[in-house]
Amino acid sequence: MSSRPAAGGGRWVEVDPARLARWVSGFADRHGPPTTTIEEYGLLLSAPDGATAELHTPPGAPATPDLETFAAQAVAPRRIGLLLARKGAVAVGIAEGEQLPVHKVDTRYVQGRTAAGGWSQQRFARRRDNQAKAALGEATELAVRLLLPEADRLAALVAGGDRRTVDGILADRRLAPLAALRAERLLDVAEPRYAVLLDAATAARAIRILVRDPA
């Protein structure tokens, strides 16, 4: 389980689906038995002391009317597409639980920003731009080759890394079926590598909970 501050107050908690029942039990022990309300994002738990927990439906899982069904759907097997991109590196895969039956990582060199006083800034900028475009093109082709054929069998597509790069890849018209499956959340990942892709497979299934403590 991980936790980080949320913009606007409260904190985001990420919980493994198999541990959700234990987490909810702990929430009830600390704040009192909560009431459950159906919301667009999932379920809202409201405790007697004023604490709340927003349970966001994980990517690819259907909306549910109660906690029991929510927990059951969260642990149900789902095929999730993964698209991680940052600078010149891209990793794509298909996760079945925490397994990756389909995966590929590719890296293409893209220069970083030059320090002031280096060679011609315009020449450098053109070279860097060409490298970035080539890397984006290769990443797009990788997604077309590995993810697109599986689009009709995926419950969702979860992206991670640099939003601008991911948006650029999915802007390709051929990838419209994948773009339609894209989950709202963008995973915060390091430069894509196989180990990072494995971690993303776990993170993609995690239940995001926005917790607000009593005033």
Q: pLDDT by residue (tens digit) across 110-138?
A: 445 555 555 556 555 555 555 556 668 88
**Contact of 89 with 107, CB cutoff 8 Å:** yes
Q: In CATH, what number is assigned to the domain containing residue 125?
A: 3.30.420.60
Name the pairing type of β-strands 89-96 and 99-107: antiparallel
Residue of 97, 92, 96, 99 lying closest to 16 (CA atoms): 97
CA angle 78, 81, 87 (to 5 degrees): 150
pTM above 0.75, yes or no: yes
Q: Tokens 């915060």 sit at which residue?
A: 188
Give the side-chain half-sphere CA count within 13 A for 31.
22
Based on the domain organization, do 128 and 170 belong to the same domain?
yes
Domain with 61, as residue range(s), is 2-77+206-212
Indicate whether 105 and 149 sit together in one domain. Answer: yes
Handedness of CA 139, 143, 144, 145 (dihedral sign): positive
Say whether both 68 and 88 belong to one domain. no
What whole-number distance in Å separates Cα of residue 61 and Cα of residue 183? 11
Place of tokens 């379920």: 43
Does 168 share its domain with 105?
yes
Indicate if the alpha-carbon torsion angle 153, 161, 8, 11 is positive or negative: positive
d(CA 125, CA 118): 12
> What digits encode the pLDDT tens for the residues 53-83?
999 999 999 999 999 999 999 999 999 999 9
Query: Do residues 22 and 6 share a domain?
Result: yes
Query: How far apart (Å, rounded) are the C-alpha atoms in residues 149 and 139?
Result: 16
| CA gap 188, 143 in Å, rounded | 19
- Residue 141 identity (one-letter amino acid): E
CA distance 133 to 139: 10
Does one domain contain both 26 and 118? no
pLDDT single digits (tens) 76-109: 999 999 999 987 789 999 999 878 999 999 875 4
Q: State the total domains in the chain.
A: 2
The residues, any chain, with a CB within 8 Å of residue 102's CB and separated by 6 or more, are 93, 94, 146, 150
**Same-domain pairing of 73 and 85:** no
My answer on whether 138 and 182 are in the same domain is yes
Same domain flag for 53 and 141? no
- 108 and 166 share one domain: yes
> Cβ contacts of residue 145 below 8 Å, gap of 6+?
none
Residues 26 and 96 in one domain: no
In whole angstroms, give the CA distance from residue 16 to residue 209: 11
Same domain, 89 and 73: no
pLDDT tens digits for 133-173?
666 888 999 999 999 999 999 999 999 999 999 999 999 99
